[in-house]
Chains A and B, each alone.
Chain A
Amino acid sequence: MTTTGLALASNACIYAAMVTLTLAMISFAVSFAAGRRRVAVAVAQEVPVAAGGTALLERMPTNDDSSTGRRSGNIAMSLTWLSFGLLLIGVVLRGIWAGRVPWGNMYEFSISSALGILAVFLFLSTRHDLRWLGLFITIPTLLTLGLAVTVLYTEAAQLVPALKSYWLIIHVSAAIICAGAFTLAAATAALSIVRSRAERRPGEVTGMMAKVPDAQRLQTLTYRTVAFSFPLWTFAVVAGAIWAENAWGRYWGWDPKETWAFITWVVFAAYLHARSTAGWRGDRAAWIAIIGWVSFLVNYFGVNIFVNSLHSYAGVG
């Protein structure tokens, strides 16, 4: 394939991924809106286990969704997988076209981050039923991709010399996974706030919020996601510092990009603390997780576009 052929193919894949993801989002929305009120089915108190057999403990009450809801939820999951595949091909082709890792400018960071969000979500969905979360994951992913193809699009070019380092691969791949995980954590945190508000109202939880797990479980999911991504983010920041030391002769210089990476780190550390502080574990902790995600976004969009920083290799404007 010629170079332009690769470029066209990459772009086509990205667009196809967006179309598929839009369909997935619609299906998630349908499944979210269609379900009847969830009926909590009490689980047997004692499950006798045959000798040598495994004790399978049913932990979640089963979902008594309407069949429309379930079917569109399943369709949505399949579409999300398809979109992930297309996006992956698009990102890989972009890399082949550019002849390097596809992390040279903001367009490439954005499509890779979208891939990261879907990857974390789909990975977790193989272990838990996360169909209820799909709507809140496809929306930020689509926004990221939309921004990428409209505002941030740039032709592939050589990396500026500062980016030519294998630390780029280490640092950026960790950051991209964190982008996915922080987004997921913010989504479950936001849901847990809305859900706990619904739970505080008298009577049973009805409507949309009946479709998501209870606040306690959402908070736990948020915590797990942050607990996974916080060490990774720490690692990403340290890798960035090593790289900066190699390129500019200092490992930390309070450049705006570094400062916001630090702020994000401190806010998520505060989140983990809040989870162990009396009176802070519930909604307040959830808000801190959301603030952490926002500071991640500030670092990504705000600093790259508006601030003149050593790291301004965005290739936009």
Chain B
Amino acid sequence: MTTSSVDAREQVPLPPMGAVGFARWSWRQLTSMRTALILLFLLAIASIPGSVLPQRGNDPIAVRNWIEDAPTMGPILDRLGFFEVYSSPWFSAVYLLLFISLVGCVIPRAAQHWRAMLALPPAPPRNLSRLAGTIEQTSGLDPQQVIDSAASVLRKQRWRVRVEEPAEAGSASGSSWVAAEKGYLRETGNLVFHLSLVLLLVAVAVGGLFGWKGNVIVREGRGFANTLTQYDAWGGGAFVNPATLPDFSFTLTDFRVDFERSGAQRGAPSFFEADVTYRTNVSAAEQTDVIEVNHPLEISGAKIFLVGHGYAPKFVVRDAAGKVVFDDEVPFLPQDGNFTSTGVVKAPDGTPQLGFRGLFLPTSALDDVRGPHSVFPAPDDPSVFLSAWQGDLGLDAGAPQSVYRLDTVAMTQLGLEALRPGDIWVLPNGSGSVTMTGFTRWASFQIARDPGKEFALVSAILAITGLMCSLFMRRRRVWVRATQAANGITVVQVAGLARKSTLDDLQSPSLEAELRDLANALRGPEIASSTVKEPK
């Protein structure tokens, strides 16, 4: 390998030849402040599409509709990852580069900071009176005493102090000084802040790999046991074994909801809550709890959140022979704020099979434009609109079917009818009958376990703490020099320098105050005068 003569500290305008030189050059570019700035910008821009286009993780149905509505653009955008922006390769590339840059930037700085914390404060510049805000005063004490008392004052205020005794104490030219430094916390805070961002990323990754999340609809009076088959939807990280989910269970004993009856937010839910009884494992005793929107139930590290609710009308279906082929409550999914809900009833046991598409209206209304719809979410005037189908439900084909969709390719429509609770509809051609016997409510729960979330919270708190130190602390130095003048009087100079901070570009008023206080503390009994120097 050829030796590269590139100085690591030097800014190189063009990539040098040679693999090592180029690698080094690239690394330096990647870890430069300018690159960090550009990557931060890219991160902001790359986040935007995901807020404009529907995202699969949040709303898969909207994504499907979007792609169907835009047959040319849709699939292209889909292939480019625009419907899963935050796990797309390009978004990942931006944040991974940013974090590599961050680590590459922070580690050398941490090493440098470590050395700086071990080093002694530097000696004062030769001419202290050239610094802004330097205070000069005289003292009746000799230089030695002035320096000793300065050092003790500074130590008491928790400065890092270095004292230099005069070469020849008591001689006319004797000049001694003390140097002090404070505010290392600023750089420490900055490093802690950046490193906590890395921790936060790790926490998010832990949650993604070891966490799981599922959704389930539970009807009033029914139960749920935490196994994969009971979920309507479930997703887990790469390191989760779905066979070993914690074996808790619960029953929805009662679900209560109330809606605003007047005002601008008429129809908005004013509260909803679910009474449950639960067992933390198969052999545990039964306990009770109320799950509300901001009050999940936590069992074995998993949290059960109440995320939605709806109606489940109850039907009894008889076949042509009068035999009951279906008798159950069917969850219908709300389609609008007034809970106009859709659902499907499948009765595969009849011959031929019967199927129904339904619309449940808690407060029924009918108009020419919108057809049957609900005008209020509470069940003030409930009814269902059913369309009945006869034929083959297609359940035997083997392909899994959604319980919310009726596949009517092999079926013929029998008719349409509106039913109120208690109504019976005798189907045409002696095909049987359907009765709406009533309705109940259901609640939907999200059950999630995220083992990274406490870790994420700790990282975030560390980040904020570090950030505050970084932004509000100032690294500053103070020097006191005491010189024996020819006439035997001791001249004391108190000077300081604040490093860049929130107060940069300006003189630091608080450093001025510190210098002033220090000068006052050093003032002996016989003082002539003191002078403050302004910057030239």
In the complex, whether A67 has a CB less than 8 A from a CB of chain B is no
Cβ A273 vs Cβ B37 within 8 A: yes
Q: Is B29 an interface residue (CB 8 A)?
A: no
A224 to B57, CA, bound (A): 39
Return A118 CB to nearest CB of chain B, in Å.
23
Known: A57-B512, A219-B505. A230 touches B471 (CB 8 A): yes
A157 contacts across to B, CB distance below 8 A? 260, 263-265, 268
Q: Tell me the bound Cα distance from A283 to B303 in angstroms.
A: 49
Known interface pairs A259-B47, A263-B44, A270-B41; A247-B293 also in contact (CB < 8 Å): yes
Whole-angstrom CA separation of A253 from B264 in the bound complex:
29
Contact in complex: B504, A248 (CB < 8 Å) = no
Contact A248 B468 (CB under 8 A): no
Q: Is the CB of B57 within 8 A of A253?
A: yes
Q: How far is the CA of A275 from the CA of B467 in the complex (A)?
A: 15
With a cutoff of 8 Å between Cβ atoms, the chain A residues found around residue B531 in the complex are 46, 48-49
Of the candidates B293, B500, B532, which one forms a contact with A46 in the assembled complex, judged by CB atoms under 8 Å apart?
A: B532
The reply to whether B40 and A249 form a contact with Cβ atoms under 8 Å apart is no
Q: Give bound CA distance, A186 to B400, whole Å.
A: 56
CB distance from A169 to the nearest CB of B (A): 13
Distance between Cα atoms of A167 and B36 in the complex (Å): 33
**5 A-B pairs with the lowest CB-CB distances in the bound complex, closest first:** A157-B265, A161-B293, A256-B51, A249-B305, A270-B40
Bound-complex Cα distance A220 to B334 (A) = 54
> Number of residue pairs across A and B with beta carbons under 8 Å?
179
* Nearest CB of chain B from residue A282's CB, rounded to whole Å: 11
A245 nearest CB across to chain B (Å): 6
Contacts of A266 in B (CB 8 A): 40, 43-44, 47
Are B307 and A248 interface neighbours, CB within 8 A?
yes
Are B33 and A260 in contact (CB-based, < 8 A)? no
Query: Are A224 and B502 interface neighbours, CB within 8 A?
Result: yes
> Which residue, of B37, B55, B529, B536, has the highest number of chain A Cβ atoms within 10 A?
B37
A158 near B464 with CB under 8 A, answer: no
Given the known inter-chain contacts A49-B532, A54-B516, A57-B534, please indicate yes or no for A231 contacting B471, CB distance below 8 A: yes
CA distance in complex: A300, B292 (Å): 27
Asked if residues A315 and B294 are in contact (CB atoms below 8 Å), the reply is no
B507 and A47 contacting across the interface, CB-CB below 8 Å: no
Residue of B nearest to A269 (CB): B40
With both beta carbons as reference points, the residue of chain A lying nearest to B500 in the complex is identified as A276
Contact with B along A214-253 (1 / 0, CB 8 A): 0011011001100100110011001001110111111111
Residues of B within 8 A of A49 (CB): 530-532
The reply on B533 being an interface residue by CB < 8 A is yes
Tell me, yes or no, whether A164 is within 8 Å of chain B by CB. yes
Of the candidate stretches B20-28, B342-350, B452-460, the one touching chain A is: B452-460
Query: Known contacts being A154-B265, A162-B293, is A263 close to B467, with CB within 8 Å?
Result: no
Q: Which one of B34, B204, B294, B529 lies within 8 Å of A246 (CB-CB)?
A: B294
Chain A CB within 8 A of B443 CB:
no
A-B contact pairs, 16 of them (CB 8 A): A45-B534, A45-B536, A57-B512, A59-B506, A223-B505, A227-B502, A231-B464, A238-B460, A247-B305, A249-B303, A251-B453, A254-B50, A256-B52, A259-B47, A273-B40, A315-B264
When the two chains form the complex, which single residue of B57, B271, B534 contacts A47, counting CB atoms closer than 8 Å? B534
Q: Which residues of A contact B292 (CB under 8 A)?
A: 161
Most A CB within 10 A of own CB, among B44, B295, B533: B44
A55 contacts B307, CB within 8 Å? no
Q: Which chain B positions have C-beta within 8 A of A280?
A: 34, 37
Residues of B within 8 A of A224 (CB): 502-503
Q: Which of B50, B270, B461, B512 contacts A259 (CB 8 A)?
A: B50
Whether B294 pairs with A250 at a CB distance below 8 angstroms is no
A contact residues around B393 at 8 Å (CB):
none
In the complex, whether A274 has a CB less than 8 A from a CB of chain B is: yes
**How many A residues are at the interface, by size bracket?**
35 or more
How long is the Cα–Cα vector from A295 to B48 in the complex, in angstroms? 10
In the bound complex, CA of A162 to CA of B523 (Å): 63
Nearest A residue to B85 via CB reads A254
Chain A, 263-285, contact with B by CB distance < 8 Å: what is the 0/1 string? 10011011001101111100000
- Which residues in A have their C-beta under 8 angstroms from that of B506? 59, 217, 220
Q: A-side interface residues toward B, CB under 8 Å?
A: 43-49, 51-52, 54-55, 57, 59, 105, 154-158, 160-162, 164-165, 167, 216-217, 219-220, 223-224, 227, 230-231, 234-235, 238, 241-243, 245-256, 259-260, 262-263, 266-267, 269-270, 273-274, 276-280, 295, 303, 307, 315
Chain A residue numbers with a CB within 8 Å of B85 are: 254
Determine how close the nearest CB of chain B comes to the CB of A284; give it in whole angstroms. Answer: 9
* A303 with B51, Cβ < 8 A, contacts A158-B265, A231-B471, A249-B307 known: yes
The reply to whether A249 and B448 form a contact with Cβ atoms under 8 Å apart is yes
**A260→B460 CA distance, assembly (Å):** 18
Q: Within 8 Å of chain A (Cβ to Cβ): is B463?
A: yes
Q: Is B221 an interface residue (CB 8 A)?
A: no
In the complex, what residues of A have CB within 8 A of residue B47's CB? 259, 262-263, 266
Structural contact, A55 and B460, CB atoms closer than 8 A: no
Write the chain A residue with the least CB distance to B48: A263
Give Cα distance in the complex from A43 to B512, angstroms.
Answer: 17
- In the bound complex, do residue B502 and residue A259 qualify as a contact, i.e. CB atoms below 8 Å apart? no
Q: State in angstroms the CA–CA spacing of A191 and B129 once bound together.
A: 36
Q: Which residues of B contact A267 (CB under 8 A)?
A: 40-41, 44
Q: Is B181 an interface residue (CB 8 A)?
A: no
Whole-angstrom distance between the alpha carbons of A227 and B527 in the complex?
Answer: 42
Q: Please report the C-alpha to C-alpha distance between residue A172 and residue B509 in the assembled complex, in whole angstroms.
A: 33
Contacts of B52 in A (CB 8 A): 256, 307
Most-contacted residue by chain A among B263, B265, B500, B523 (CB, 10 A): B265
A262 and B506 alpha carbons, distance in the complex (Å): 31
What chain B residues lie within 8 Å of A270 (beta carbons)? 37, 40-41, 44
Residue contact A273 to B471, C-beta cutoff 8 Å: no
**For residue B265, which residues in chain A have a CB less than 8 angstroms away from its CB?**
105, 154, 157-158, 160, 315
Q: Is the CB of A51 within 8 A of B264?
A: no
Question: Which residues on A sit within 8 Å (CB–CB) of B457?
Answer: 238, 242
Known contacts A57-B534, A266-B40, A270-B40; 15 further A-B pairs (Cβ under 8 A): A44-B534, A46-B534, A47-B532, A51-B523, A155-B264, A158-B260, A248-B446, A249-B307, A250-B213, A251-B453, A253-B58, A263-B51, A266-B47, A295-B44, A303-B51
Cα distance A251–B530 in the bound complex, in angstroms: 59
Q: Closest approach, in angstroms, between the C-beta of A161 and any C-beta of chain B? A: 4
Complex formed: what's the CA distance from A243 to B531 in Å? 56
Interface residue? B272 (CB, 8 A): yes
B269 within 8 A of A: yes
Question: Given A48-B531, A227-B502, A235 and B464 touching (CB < 8 A)?
Answer: yes
- Known contacts A49-B530, A254-B86: does B453 contact A245 (CB below 8 Å)? yes
Complex Cα distance A247/B305, Å? 7
